[in-house]
Structure 1
Amino acid sequence: MNIFRFFGDMTHLISILILLLKIYATKSCSGISRKTQELYALVFLARYLDLFTNFVSVYNHVMKMVFIASSLAIVWCMRRHPLVRRSYDKDLDTFRHYFLVGGSFVLALLWHEKFTFLEIFWAFSIYLEAVAILPQLVLLQRSGNVDNLTGQYVLFLGAYRGFYILNWIYRYATESHFGRWIAVISGVLQTALYADFFYYYFLSWKNNAKLQLPA
C-alpha cells in the first residue's frame, strides 16, 4: 500500500466519523441524504461479500467491517432513531435513487472482468459508488445553505476519491499499471461530480463565509 492509498482510506474514514459526530452530537440528520447513505450501505455490502472467504490483511479486514457497520448504523439512525429521523429532509431528498441501483447493476452485467457472482457484485458496487453521492449533492443544492459538519463530510468524501486518483497515478509510475480499469474510470467520474462542490467550498473558505450552493 502506498501513501496515497492510505490517505484515501483515512479521509474516507474521517468523512464517516464526521457524519456520525453530526448525528450523535446534534441528534439531527438535517442536510444529509438518507438515499445516499442507503446507496453507500449497499455499495459496501455488495463489495465485501468476500469478507469471510478472502483474507488479505488485518488492516483490509478491519476496514471492510468498519465501512459496513458504520454505513448500516447511519441508515438505522436516520430511519429508526426517534430524534434523528424527525430532522430528516424528506421533501428535499427526492432523488430517484433506485434508477442508480438498476443502472449500475445493468452496467455490471454488461461490463465486468469475470462473469462470476463476486465479480458482478464487485463491479456493481464500483459503478454504484461512482454516482451514490448524487442524491446528497442534489439535496444540498436544493437547501442552499450547508452547515459546517455536512460540508466537511462531503469535502473529506471527495478528498478520498482524489487521493485514490493519485494512488493510481503513483502505481502507474512505479509499477507500470494502475489497477482495475473499472475502478479507475468510475473513480475519475465520481471525483468529477464533486468539482462544483469543491469550487463553492473554496470560495466560502477564501471569503470566510458560510458555504452556499446555487439552486
Structure 2
Amino acid sequence: MESLVNRSSVLRERVRGSTKKPINAVSTWVRRQPPKAKVYLAVAATVATLFFLRIVVHDHDNLFIAAEAVHAIGISLLIYKLTQEKTCAGLSLKSQELTALFLFVRLYCSLVMEYDIHTLLDLATLGTTVWVIYMIRFNLNSTYMDDKDTFAHYYVVIPCAFLSLLVHPSTQHHLFNRICWAFCVYLEAVSVLPQLHLMQNTKIVEPVTAHYVFALGVARFLSCAHWVLQVLDTRGRLLTALGYGLWPSLVLISEIVQTFILADFCYYYVKSLFGGHLVLRLPSGVV
C-alpha cells in the first residue's frame, strides 16, 4: 500500500512538472528578450487577441457587458475579503477613493447628459466602492497598510484636471459637463496606480487582492477591446461621433493606457497561477 501511495505521489509530481515546464520555458525565454523585443511581443499578442475576439464575438457590445461582469466579480472578491477574512491588508484606500471620485463624476455626467443602463451600473459600483472605503477607514482600519499606501492623490488628480481643461469633448453640452466627462475618463485610466504602488512596496500580494487586481486588468482589456473593435467596425466614424480635435484620440488612448498599466501585473499573476503559487511575489520594477 505504501509503495502504491509513493508511486501515486511521484506520478502527480511528474504531471505537475510536465505542465510547469512549458510555462517556465516560455517565461524564461520572454524574460531573456531585450526590452524592444518584449514590446513587440506584447503588441503582437494584443493584436492577435483582438483579431480572435473580432472573429469569435459577433456583437462587440457584448465585450463591454463582459467587462462590467468581470469588474463585478472583482468587487465581489473585495466584499468577500472584507467581510469573511476581516482584513483590508494589501488594499489601497487611495485607489478606492480615486475610483469613487471618477465614478461620482461619471454618474453626474450620465445623469445630465445621457441617462441609460450604464447610469444604474455606475450607481451600483459607486455604492459598493463607498462601502469598501467605509470598511477600510473605520471597521478594519487596524489592518490597513497606511505606511505602504503612499501614492499621493494629487499625483493623478491634478494632471487629469489640467488635461480635462485643455482637451474635452466638442459636443453641444455645457462646457462644465464636457470638462467633467473628460476628467472622469482620464482619472479612470490611472486610478489603479496607488494599488499597484502599494503592491510594489509590499512585494508580496495575497490571493484575494491579486484576484481583484487581475479582474480589473481583464475588465479594462475587454473594455479597451470593445472600443478598438467598435472603431474598426465603424471605420473610424465612432471617433468622429465623439467630437473633433484631440478628444476622440485621447479617449482611445485612455482605454489603452488602462490596459497597459495592468499588463505587467497580469503577466506575473498568470505566471504565478500556472506555477502553482498561492501568493504572488512581484519583482522590483513591475510598477
TM over 0.5: yes
The structure with the largest alpha-carbon Rg is 2
- The alignment status of 1:80 with 2:138, answered yes or no, reads yes
CA distance in 1, matches of 2:114, 2:160: 27
CA distance in 1, matches of 2:118, 2:273: 35
What are the superposed Cα offsets for residues 2-45 of structure 1, whole Å, 9 maximum, x if unpaired? 11111111111211111122111112110000000000000101
Of structures 1 and 2, the one scoring higher in RCO (CA 8 A, sep 6+) is 1
CA distance in 1, matches of 2:93, 2:78: 12
CA distance in 1, matches of 2:249, 2:107: 19
The letter for the 2-side match of 1:63 is L
What are the superposed Cα offsets for residues 146-198 of structure 1, whole Å, 9 maximum, x if unpaired? 11110010001011110012112321232223554332111101111112101
| Equivalent in the alignment of 1:189 | 257
Which runs of no fewer than 5 residues in structure 1 stay unpaired?
A: none
* Identity score, percent: 32
What are the superposed Cα offsets for residues 61-82 of structure 1, whole Å, 9 maximum, x if unpaired? 320211111111111111122x
- The alignment status of 1:214 with 2:273, answered yes or no, reads no
Larger % of helix: which? Answer: 2
**2:211 aligned to 152, 173, 181, which one?**
152
| Equivalent in the alignment of 1:29 | 88
Which runs of no fewer than 5 residues in structure 2 stay unpaired?
A: 1-59, 240-247
What TM-score do the two structures reach when normalised by structure 2? 0.70
Instruction: Give the conservation status (yes or no) of the 8 Å contact 1:168–1:184.
Output: yes
What TM-score do the two structures reach when normalised by structure 1? 0.92
Name which of structure 1's ranges 14-23 and 176-185 shifts more when overlaid on structure 2. 176-185
Shift of 1:113: 1.4
CA distance in 1, matches of 2:228, 2:148: 38
**1:60 aligned to 108, 118, 138, which one?**
118
Instruction: Give the conservation status (yes or no) of the 8 Å contact 1:15–1:153.
Output: yes
CA RMSD of aligned residues (A): 1.7
CA distance in 1, matches of 2:102, 2:222: 19
The letter for the 2-side match of 1:168 is W
Alignment of 1:1-215 (within 5 A): 2-54=61-113, 56-57=115-116, 59-81=117-139, 84-114=140-170, 116-177=175-236, 178-179=238-239, 180-209=248-277, 210-215=279-284
Instruction: Give the conservation status (yes or no) of the 8 Å contact 2:99–2:129.
Output: yes
